Structure 1
C-alpha cells in the first residue's frame, strides 16, 4: 500500500464570492487558479486559491452559498485550516500585516514544534499559519507575486488541518487503521489535548491535528470547512484506496471524476468528510498556466450549459 502523500486541498463555504476573492487574493496574496462551479450544483461558484502553478497541496477552495448563515462552532468539525509560510520571520510579517489591516489575529505561538499564527477571515474562517522552519519535510508550493508581500513572506501551501471531534477513537481509527497515518506526538493547547498524526514525509504539508471535545456538534455556515482532501498519486492508487475503505466498512462515493483530479469521498464515525484526490491531471487541463483563473472554467460535461450557468452567476473580476 502506498502512503497518502499529504494534504491535497481544503474546501470551505463562503456567502459572497466577490468578497472572498478580495480577501484571499488582496489580503493573503494567493492566486485564484480556477474559477469554476460546484459540479454537483453549477448554480454556485467553486473558487480555488493556490500557489503560482495550482500545485496539489496548495489549494484552498470555496463553495459560494449566498444564503449561508453564520457558523455555530463546535465539535465534529474541521475546525482550522493550516497555511504554510517559509520562516518564523514570515510569521512576524503576517502578524504586523493582519493587525494593520484590522484582521482578527492572535499572537504568534508554538504548536507542534513550530511557530504559528491564528487568525480569521472576514466570515470567521479559522486559519493558522505554520512556519516551515521546523516543518518543511513535505515540499511546498511556489509563491505568487503580490505588490505588498515579499516572496520570502508569501503563503506557499496548505499546512495541517485541525479536527475537533467528540470521539477520538472514531477519527483515529480512520487515520491510523484505514489511511495508515502515524501518531507522532501530543501536547496541551488552550483548546485541550492536541494529537498530531503524520503521513509520508511528514511536516506541515502532511499532518492532521485532532482535538477531542465534548462540546455540541458544529452547525456549519459561512466560514466553515466542508471537507479536507488527501493526496494520492493517481487513479490506480485511488482504486486501491477505495478497496481499503470498502474493506474497512465505510460507505463512500465510489470513484468520482472531477476533471482536474479524480476523487473518493467518505465520512469517519464523527461525520468528518474526507476526500482522497489524485495529484493530476491538474488545473492546466483547460487553461494555460499564465492565464489560470481569469475566465469561468467548466468541465466538458457542463460546457454545453455555459450560457445558462453564466447567467446565474454574478461576475467576479479576476485580475
Structure 2
C-alpha cells in the first residue's frame, strides 16, 4: 500500500478580503470555491496546476492577537515544489514584480529554497531539488 499524495493544504487567515487578492496575484488564478460552511468558517480554495487544493479559512471565532511564528507549535511553513533552480529564479522575479519581500534563494545540499510570507506572516516557500551532476 503506497502513501497517498498531498490532496490539500488549508491555512487560517485573519481577513479573506486581504488574503484572497494577495494569493490570487501570487497564484495567477481565481478560487474554485468560495463559501461559508456549517463548521463556523468561510473558505476560499484555489486549485493549483498539479491538482493540489490550497485553502484559505477565516473562522467566525475571533483570532488571537499573536502574530504567526514558525517557532510556535503548529504550522511551520507550506512548501511548493518547483522543477529546478531556473524555475526558482523565475518565482523570485515574480515575487519582486508583486512587491513581496523574500529571503532570496538559499542553496543547500538537499536543494534550494525561496522563502516569503503571506499577509498574515505565514511562511511559504518555493523549493527545488538539488541539481543533478
Bin for the TM-score computed over the shorter chain = 0.7 to 0.9
- What is the aligned partner in structure 2 of residue 237 from structure 1? 87
Unaligned ranges ≥5, structure 1: 1-150, 286-319
Residue 181 of structure 1: CA displacement? 3.9
- What is the aligned partner in structure 2 of residue 165 from structure 1? 13
Residue 189 of structure 1: CA displacement? 4.2
Residue 191 of structure 1: CA displacement? 3.2
Contact in 2 for aligned 1:170/1:268 (Cα 8 Å): no
Residue 269 of structure 1: CA displacement? 1.3
Q: Describe the superposition over 1:92-149 as per-residue Cα deviations: whole angstroms up to 9, x where unpaired.
A: xxxxxxxxxxxxxxxxxxxxxxxxxxxxxxxxxxxxxxxxxxxxxxxxxxxxxxxxxx
Give distance in 2, aligned partners of 1:170 and 1:272: 14
* Moved beyond 4 Å, runs of 4+: 217-220
Structure (1 or 2) with the larger CA radius of gyration = 1
**1:210 paired to 2:56:** yes
State the aligned residue count.
126
Unaligned ranges ≥5, structure 2: none
Contact in 2 for aligned 1:257/1:263 (Cα 8 Å): yes
Q: Describe the superposition over 1:4-34 as per-residue Cα deviations: whole angstroms up to 9, x where unpaired.
A: xxxxxxxxxxxxxxxxxxxxxxxxxxxxxxx
- What is the aligned partner in structure 1 of residue 99 from structure 2? 249
Please, what is the CA RMSD of the aligned residues?
2.2
Give distance in 2, aligned partners of 1:197 and 1:228: 14
Give distance in 1, aligned partners of 2:48 and 2:122: 18
The aligned runs of 1:177-196 (5 Å cut-off) are: 177-187=25-35, 188-196=37-45
